[in-house]
Amino acid sequence: MGNVLLDQISILSSLLSFQSFHVVILGFDCAGKTTVLYRLQFNESVNTVPTKGFKTEN
């Protein structure tokens, strides 16, 4: 358990050392992927419609 936690902290530390990185959000239909995407980018909750294909934000 502790090793897993340390691995996660190590991964997070290496991510934070980058200027930018890509995040891919995968999940079932209506799982909340678009909601999470907009929450991360704009820090607000938005009403969503089902996504056709895929959506990207910079």
Ligand X SMILES: Nc1nc2c(ncn2[C@@H]2O[C@H](COP(=O)(O)OP(=O)(O)OP(=O)(O)O)[C@@H](O)[C@H]2O)c(=O)[nH]1
Any residues with CB less than 8 A from the CB of 55 and at least 6 apart, and which?
A: 34, 37
53 binds, among Mg ion, ligand X, none (CB under 5 to 8 A by kind): none
Taking CB under 5 A as the criterion, the residue among 8, 10, 41, 51 binding Mg ion is 51
25 binds, among ligand X, Mg ion, none (CB under 5 to 8 A by kind): none
Query: Residue 14 and residue 28: Cα distance in Å, rounded?
Result: 29
Q: Identify whether the C-beta of residue 33 lies closer than 8 Å to the C-beta of residue 26.
A: yes
Does 48 show up as a binding residue in the annotation?
no
Does 34 show up as a binding residue in the annotation?
yes
Write out the residues near ligand X by the rule CB under 6 A: 27, 29-35, 48, 50-51
